[in-house]
Amino acid sequence: MTRLLTLLCLFTVLIACKTETKEQTTNSETVSEEKKELTIAEKIAQAHGLDYWKSVNEIQFTFNVDRGENHFERSWTWNPKTDDVRLASEKDTINFNRKSIDSLSLNTDKGFINDKYWLLVPFQLVWDQGTTISEPIKELAPISKIEMNKITLLYGNEGGYTPGDAYDIYYDTNFMIKEWVFREGNSEAPSMTTTFENYQDFNGLKIAKDHKMTDGNFNLYFSNIKVK
């Protein structure tokens, strides 16, 4: 599924017992669910506002990349309940539904998946199938050099647009993502390392608007965010 293929191409150009009684069983299951320990992925997603996602009917955002003097942007409107998507760019406006992707909408959907992934990666941790998430360890974050918690998210070798990719995700004691390393095809060497910063709250969703590199000449950021 991953989502950075379009961005990397852009950089190249510019860039879920025993039964006693029914009532007793139900009560037992309820208690069990209440005591169930959340996974690290669930804790991260909840820290970023996952509980509010069920109320989202529409989300709008503009995906921007500044690298040197070059600027790239595209704007999206997505209804997650129906999976209707609209792309608005300088060249065109395209409407499609993700439940019926065809040859005409395929490339547009690749761009949407990439941009949505950057925007909502804390939720993708629990949404995406066919992934493996490592146990957390303590490690110095690559940009800030501050000790943080780290997990590695690995995608399977089948399915999605760019299978087999890996992400090293660094998060703080509040389970907020602060940095990540993208490793294309689970390579040992980093393909891209950026921050997660300028968090803002959009109807309960905590979204990092800026993703910067160490050289200071790159900023991937979001503008015109609206959550309805």
pLDDT of the residue at 18: 33
Give SS3 for 140: strand
pLDDT in tens, 4-46: 444 444 443 333 333 333 334 445 444 445 568 999 999 999 9
Among 22-26, 134-138, 167-171, 185-189, name the one with the lowest average pLDDT.
22-26
Which has the closest alpha carbon to 71: 212, 194, 220? 220
pLDDT of the residue at 89: 86
pLDDT-based confidence at residue 132 (cuts at 50, 70, 90): very high
pLDDT in tens, 206-225: 999 999 999 888 999 999 99
pLDDT in tens, 104-129: 899 999 999 999 999 999 999 999 99
Average pLDDT over residues 53-61: 98
Give SS3 for 70: strand
Residue listed under structure tokens 């139900």? 26
pLDDT of the residue at 92: 86
Q: What is the pTM of this model?
A: 0.84
Q: With 80 as the cut, is the pLDDT of residue 100 above it? A: yes
pLDDT of the residue at 5: 40
Which has the closest alpha carbon to 199: 136, 121, 87, 147? 121
How far apart are the C-alpha atoms of 25 and 170, rounded to whole Å? Answer: 40
**Is residue 1 within 8 Å of residue 113, measured between CB atoms?**
yes
How far apart are the C-alpha atoms of 89 and 137, rounded to whole Å? Answer: 41
